[in-house]
Amino acid sequence: MSIVLSHTTAKAVYQAAHSVSAKGIESCNPTAIYESCPTVTLLDAAAEWLTKHDVSLDANDCLEVMVFHRRNARYAMNCQCHVSSKRFSNSRFIELKDGIFIVGVELCALQAATYLSFRELVEYYFELCGAYSLGTDSSTSYTERFALTSTERLKQFFNSITRCDGLALARKAIQCVRDGCRSPMETAFVMMLTLPKSEGGLGIKGIETDYEVQVTTAAKNLTRRKKFFMDAYLKKSRTDIEYNGFLS
């Protein structure tokens, strides 16, 4: 028997400081995925794993899990079961420990489009593609970490599937996202530039973030640095817009 963590529970795992996404990803046993069934024993084991790995859920939150047959759905006070009529590649799942699996980052991102608003979704995608994590609590602090995915990987995944809940919103949201933001403040700054005007942004499409510029031989006597990174670079007009007023 097995269990597949999904939706907000998976989101909380990926927002934890020591994310499971650091694990090497290998294709999972398809039978374990598609015949998953959240028994009481497996739910308890999953909750224990989350606690052990400092994944915090709100007191009122239940574990969200995914099954692929309605006959395997279980409804209990501590479990919200999502029945998926669509089967994804077994490479889209990660095994946490024996019998406990989680949806991969890209699939988790797609699921987020079913419960987050458009702006919240864009912000979340920035976080997944950036070098920080907001965590799951209500504090304004954040934790530095490596990017969990990229805009290219998300676009490829969203474009590889059809007829799926949240897909249209996910495809729209990823168009506003850029790779490499290093803080939630930087994300807010870039969102202001990339969001459509209907969403309160400036609707600028040709922006590259964390854009690397090498110091030329002619300018090497002006700085000890060999390269600079631009916060928001408009390549067409060769314009840099800095979040904090200085090239980092």
Query: pLDDT band at 137, cuts 50/70/90?
Result: low
**Where does residue 245 rank: exposed (0-12), middle (13-18), buried (19+ CB within 10 A)?**
exposed
- Of the candidate ranges 125-129, 164-168, 184-188, the one whose mean pLDDT is the lowest: 184-188
What pTM was estimated for this model as a whole?
0.84
Spatial distance between the Cα atoms of 92 and 76, rounded to a whole number of angstroms:
26
Query: pLDDT band at 21, cuts 50/70/90?
Result: low
Query: pLDDT band at 99, cuts 50/70/90?
Result: very high
- Model pLDDT, residue 20: 66
Those residues with Cβ within 8 angstroms of residue 21's Cβ, 6 or more apart along the chain or in another chain: 14, 94, 105, 148
- Sequential DSSP letters for 22-55: GSPP-PPPHHHHHT----HHHHHHHHHHHHHTT-
On average, the pLDDT of the chain sits at 86
- Model pLDDT, residue 247: 45
Cβ(112)–Cβ(174) below 8 Å: no
Tell me the average pLDDT across 101-113.
96
Strand partners, 67: 83
- Of the candidate ranges 8-22, 42-56, 71-85, 231-245, the one whose mean pLDDT is the lowest: 231-245
Q: Provide the 8-state DSSP code for 76.
A: B
pLDDT tens column, 114-124: 999 999 999 99
